[in-house]
Amino acid sequence: MTLSQDRSPSLTTRIQQSVQVDLAPHQELEIPTECPIRFAVSLKGLTTWKVGGLAQYYLEPRTLAETQAGLAWARQNDLPITIIGAGSNLLISDRGLVGLVICTRHLRHVSTQFDNETHSVSADAGKMVASLAWQAARRGWGGMEWAAGIPGTLGGAVVMNAGAHGHSTQEILVSTDVLNLDGSIETLTNQDLDYSYRTSNLQGDARIVLSAKFELQAAGDAEEIKARTFRDLEKRHSKQPYDRPSCGSVFRNPSPQYAAVLIEGLGLKGHRIGDAEVSTLHANFIINRQDATAKDIRELIFYVQSQVKSKHAIELETEVKMLGEF
């Protein structure tokens, strides 16, 4: 089977000018017919920062069988595997990613199911967190009001323990089904994930989250819960720059301090490198003004870290995951 190649107008230019790692396809590799793998696909439009190079091989599976076939093919050919969801909290190198990139945003494993007896809900990893939060609110179920502004998928939320307004995924997760590299499916409990602030033991792991089950609060006044959800969303939008591409919060809060307060106190709001800028609205956001590169953003992250360390002797850790060679 021949490889499908992304033939956007600027593809050749990007390969020649921005990709220095070897992303050429291995012509001897045979692509399984049941697995729609493509070659040289731009990842720029698949991240919320709108930066990044090309995937050497790219798979956007819609079924479990396609995902299993892709994993088996990559393993057989000794290719690195990278898993992405909605592309939030990711900084992908301008030089691209070697191996197979699997995007799970359209992967469907289970349909969204609300259990009225246990007040639990199960949903696909590719479902957007905000969408599920609003579904729960309309049913009068509490516990996800904070999640209405989260820009990622449930799979990403499970992996990174996404949270907002003092709440996190850890509080409501019951279990998650993951696909192992050997194609087997395993159910992990909340305790199995070793959750801590904005992380779990699935980070840096090639296991793929297929679905998750959450336990919410007993049904209440739907109008009241929708109002709380809307208030949390408005609060988030009023303080964060949603008019420009970003990844959300860049740095973890070094308890008991807040990263944004430290950065703003150093007068770094509005500081730019290339077309990357520390947001003037929220100092823990770095925005892509228009034509920023991953290199611009990475250099700005390092600059902010160096300034905070120099002035406060605090090493800011990033929430964002950096992928590829910089």
pLDDT of residue 72: 93
Please say whether the beta carbons of 101 and 82 come within 8 A: yes
- CATH number of the CATH domain containing 136: 3.30.465.10
pLDDT in tens, 42-81: 999 999 999 999 999 999 999 999 999 999 999 999 999 9
Q: Does residue 320 belong to any structural domain of this protein? A: no
Which of 193, 216, 237 is where one domain is finished? 237
User: Are 127 and 233 in the same domain?
Assistant: yes
The residues, any chain, with a CB within 8 Å of residue 296's CB and separated by 6 or more, are: 273, 274, 275, 276
CATH number of the domain bearing residue 272:
3.90.78.10
pLDDT of residue 318: 96
Chunked mean pLDDT (size 10), the chain, 326 residues: 42 35 69 85 97 97 92 94 93 97 88 92 94 94 93 93 93 97 95 95 90 90 90 84 93 95 98 98 97 98 98 96 95
Query: Using CA atoms, how far apart are residues 12 and 59, in angstroms rounded to an integer?
Result: 21
Domain contains 322: no
Do 128 and 69 share a structural domain? no
Q: Do 125 and 45 have their domain in common?
A: no
198 catalytic residue (yes or no): yes
Residue 266 tokens read as 């150093």
Please give the structure tokens belonging to residue 85: 């969801």
Nearest-angstrom CA–CA distance, 241 and 141: 29
Q: Which of 60, 66, 277, 319 is catalytic?
A: 319
Kindly tell me the sign of the dihedral angle through the C-alpha atoms of 149, 153, 158, 160: negative
Residues 232 and 248 in one domain: no
- Reported pTM: 0.86
* Model pLDDT, residue 242: 86
What is the predicted pLDDT for the residue at 26? 67
The answer to whether residue 184 is domain-embedded is yes
247 and 214, same domain (yes or no):
no
* Dihedral over Cα of 293, 295, 296, 298: its sign: positive
What CATH number does residue 65 fall under?
3.30.43.10
Catalytic residue among 14, 95, 198, 298: 198
As a whole number of angstroms, the distance between CA 64 and CA 96 comes to 26
Domain count, the chain: 3
Range of the domain at 259: 242-315
4: β partners: 38
Q: Which of 84, 103, 122 is the last residue of a domain?
A: 103
Closest CA to 96 of 118, 80, 113: 80
Whether 305 maps to a domain, the answer reads: yes
CB 51 within 8 A of CB 246: no
Q: What local confidence, expressed as pLDDT, does residue 27 receive?
A: 61
pLDDT single digits (tens) 280-292? 999 999 999 999 9
In a domain, 321, yes or no: no
- What is the spatial distance between Cα 219 and Cα 200, in angstroms, rounded to a whole number? 29
Q: What does the pLDDT read at residue 249?
A: 93
Are 76 and 131 part of one and the same domain? no
- Last residue of one domain, picked from the residues 200, 220, 237: 237
List the catalytic residue out of 18, 168, 249, 279: 249
Beta sheet of 97-103, edge-to-edge order: 4-5, 38-42, 54-59, 97-103, 81-84
Judge if 169 and 75 occupy the same domain.
no
Instruction: Tell me, yes or no, whether 224 and 129 share the same domain.
Output: yes
Q: DSSP for 147-161?
A: GGG--SBHHHHHHHT
pLDDT, residue 244, reads 94
Does residue 168 lie within any of the structural domains?
Answer: yes
Check whether residue 249 and residue 163 sit in a common domain.
no
273 & 176 share domain: no
**pLDDT for 5:** 52
